[in-house]
Structure 1
């Protein structure tokens, strides 16, 4: 079970986290849902397609992305949280800012998805005092520079060590292990080869006592492997999600919920 704010989510089957970007510079949808009304309709459509959770992001973390102010991020995220609060679906906020975390937690958000693994000052304290879950992600560098020649002695060893150490920090702060999810951060300060090594090691990373989240949907890795532009990566995205689940991932973070749900149903039918 994942203790996720207002919800206790069974991990006996893999969960689908639907992506809702409310940014004008998202790599995957070009700001299509920056308008609040369109974002709300999109979020509800993802739930109708089978999303188990919704992940709302008000600041792009794509390679080369610029930072936005806390005020601007709150203006993008909070209205959508308020509109979805009573829809009966667990809500996640994708943010690195403790101020945004505190506001979202006060509004009843169920999960904090932090690409910085709660390393900002005050982030651990904000989460620890809530009942929300947290996803700790690994990245090397900042979004603006992270794809400029990333290097590792052993990417799997280093990512695994970092994530487990961050989990130790949270446990020491009083966060139960049932509230912690780990994410190796595919595409965040990694080359194609690094990403493939991590995906091949999904089983190892998933065996460390915490549910593993994999987010590879529409990412540049898939473009490098298939030669297809971002809008034509649905098949590769679904295939990678299915392979990640087959190797032990418990949550997949995706744009294409309906296609992913259908693929997972076929996989589950054969288990």
Structure 2
């Protein structure tokens, strides 16, 4: 009798010639240059606090740091000029002071992406699914990677409301009715990834993100999580942004400050099914969960083995 087969890993991410997520999944640490992010532990508007967060993330095992200047949810307007002020000089400092750290900029605006990549960003994290059609063109022209995401058509900084994803008309009669969201995510991400490559982004530098919570109910996000293996089948490295999100909070009835355990459970499941990169607030805990999952998968050897051998 043999054990259950280990799910295949998604493709390895490559940014400016550097491979990310080989033996074990990689971590994208979160640094928000805001005062109103949903999780208070990720608010680093002060330069000193933000640089300390990058240093801590580097020490604890992150390969990428994701710098954002605008809260994803509803809130006061942040102009293009203000978003650039919050993010671009900081990207330049991170590039100068942490040369081994890959830098991502979390923005949906082409103007911000252009300035941030010019300052040294390696990746553009387009959380709002191509709302600005020129953003991916900037990534392609300047040699940066891109995150292709899915929001179900939601526009930036809006919350989902009565969202539904019916099955496609050609679905078989016995199809799982919950699969409507999976079909929509797969078709959207495949199309976005094709456009990114057509715009000049190297195929290996395209990340696909099902984007839990954005344009989705908690039922949708849970079903997408259990469908991770179908996402890896697209042939692109998969990004999972699960950290302390509302679908974890609603599932466990917990506020953002108490969602670490639920996040780590979701992280281990997605890593087992082959996701490549995890966007995380809690780098040390996530690194340990990912390394343990990789060891169980057989992708990473234990750090030491002495028990029963002496």
The 3 A distance-change label for structure 1 pair 30 and 143 is: farther
Answering whether residue 189 of structure 2 is matched by residue 163 of structure 1, we say yes
Inter-partner Cα distance in structure 1 for 2:265 and 2:25: 14
Instruction: Kindly indicate whether residue 252 of structure 2 is the aligned counterpart of residue 226 of structure 1.
Output: yes
Please point out which of 121, 145, 166 is paired with 1:133. Answer: 145
Q: Identify the residue that residue 181 of structure 1 maps to in structure 2.
A: 207
Query: What secondary structure does 1:253 align onto?
Result: strand
In the alignment, which of 217, 221, 225 is matched to residue 199 of structure 1? Answer: 225
Q: Specify the alignment match of 1:147 in structure 2.
A: 160
Q: Is the 8 A contact 1:213 1:250 kept in 2?
A: yes
Q: CA distance change for structure 1 residues 124 and 263 in 2, over 3 Å: closer, same or farther?
A: closer
CA 1:125/1:144 → structure 2, altered by over 3 Å: closer, same or farther?
closer
CA–CA separation in structure 2 for the residues paired with 1:22 and 1:167: 28
Does structure 1 residue 172 correspond to structure 2 residue 198? yes
For 1:10 and 1:202, the matched residues in 2 are separated by 16
SS at the partner of 1:127?
Answer: helix
Structure 2 unaligned segments of length 5 or more: list them.
1-11, 167-179, 299-310
Within a 5 Å distance, the mapping from 1:240-259 to structure 2 comes to 240-259=266-285
Equivalent residues, number: 270
Task: Show the counterpart of 1:216.
Answer: 242
Q: Are residues 1:39 and 2:65 paired?
A: no
- 2:104 paired with 1:92: yes
Q: Tell me which moved more, 224-233 or 118-127.
A: 118-127
Q: Which of 74, 80, 88 pairs up with 2:90?
A: 80
Deviations, residues 235-256 of structure 1 (Å, cap 9, x unaligned): 1111111111111111111100
Per the TM alignment, residue 125 of structure 1 is displaced from its structure 2 partner at its CA by 2.0
Q: Does 1:238 align with 2:276?
A: no
In structure 2, what is the Cα distance between the partners aligned to 1:82 and 1:174?
A: 24
1:65-90 CA-to-partner distances (Å, cap 9, x unmatched) read 44411110011112221211031100
Please give the TM-score of this superposition, normalised by the length of structure 2.
0.83
Return the index of the structure with the highest Cα Rg.
Answer: 2
Question: Aligned equivalents of 2:76 and 2:165: distance in 1?
Answer: 25
Are the counterparts in 2 of residues 6 and 110 from structure 1 also a CA contact under 8 Å? no
Q: Classify the secondary structure of the residue corresponding to 1:20.
A: strand
Distance 1:204 1:162 in 2: 14
Query: d(CA) in 1 for partners of 2:109 and 2:252?
Result: 35
Offset, 1:13:
2.0
**RMSD (Å), alpha carbons:** 1.6
1:266–1:38 CA distance, 2 compared to 1 (3 A): same
Secondary structure of the corresponding residue to residue 104 of structure 2: strand
SS of residue in 2 equivalent to 1:116: coil
Gap regions ≥5 residues in structure 1: none
**1:124 to 2:133 alignment:** no
1 CA distance for matches of 2:249 and 2:25? Answer: 25
* TM-score, normalised by the number of residues in structure 1: 0.94
Q: The residue matched to 2:251 in structure 1 has which SS? A: helix
User: Partner of 1:170: helix, strand, or coil?
Assistant: helix
